[in-house]
Amino acid sequence: MASDSRARLIAYLCQAGLSTARANAVLDDYAHGLAEQIRAAWTNHDPGKPGNVTMLSPLNAADLIDPKAGAEA
């Protein structure tokens, strides 16, 4: 399913005037940004409590990508 979504988005970006290579680069950059948000939130160190680590659940990580879907659940 993800590859279908990616293919549709690439097709749309190409119709909007981007080359296939540029559309792939834009989508890869966006995906990288989402991954970085998840990595940053995955381990949240509380500076007031040394060694205290809060793990982000997979559902919370998904909410970083699609907040509306998480709010409706």
CA distance 15 to 27: 15
Over residues 21-36, mean pLDDT:
90
3-state secondary structure at position 56: coil
Q: Is the pLDDT of residue 7 over 90?
A: yes
What pLDDT, on a 0 to 100 scale, did the predictor assign at position 18?
Answer: 96
DSSP letters spanning 7-44: HHHHHHHHHTT--HHHHHHHHHHHHHHHHHHHHHHHEE
Residue-range definition of the domain harbouring residue 24: 2-72
pLDDT band at 66 (very low <50, low <70, confident <90, very high): confident
- The percent of residues in the chain predicted with pLDDT above 70, rounded, is 64
pLDDT tens digits, residue range 9-23? Answer: 999 999 999 999 999
Number of domains in the chain: 1
Q: In the 8-state DSSP scheme, what is residue 46?
A: -
CA distance 67 to 23: 24
Token output for 68: 């509306």
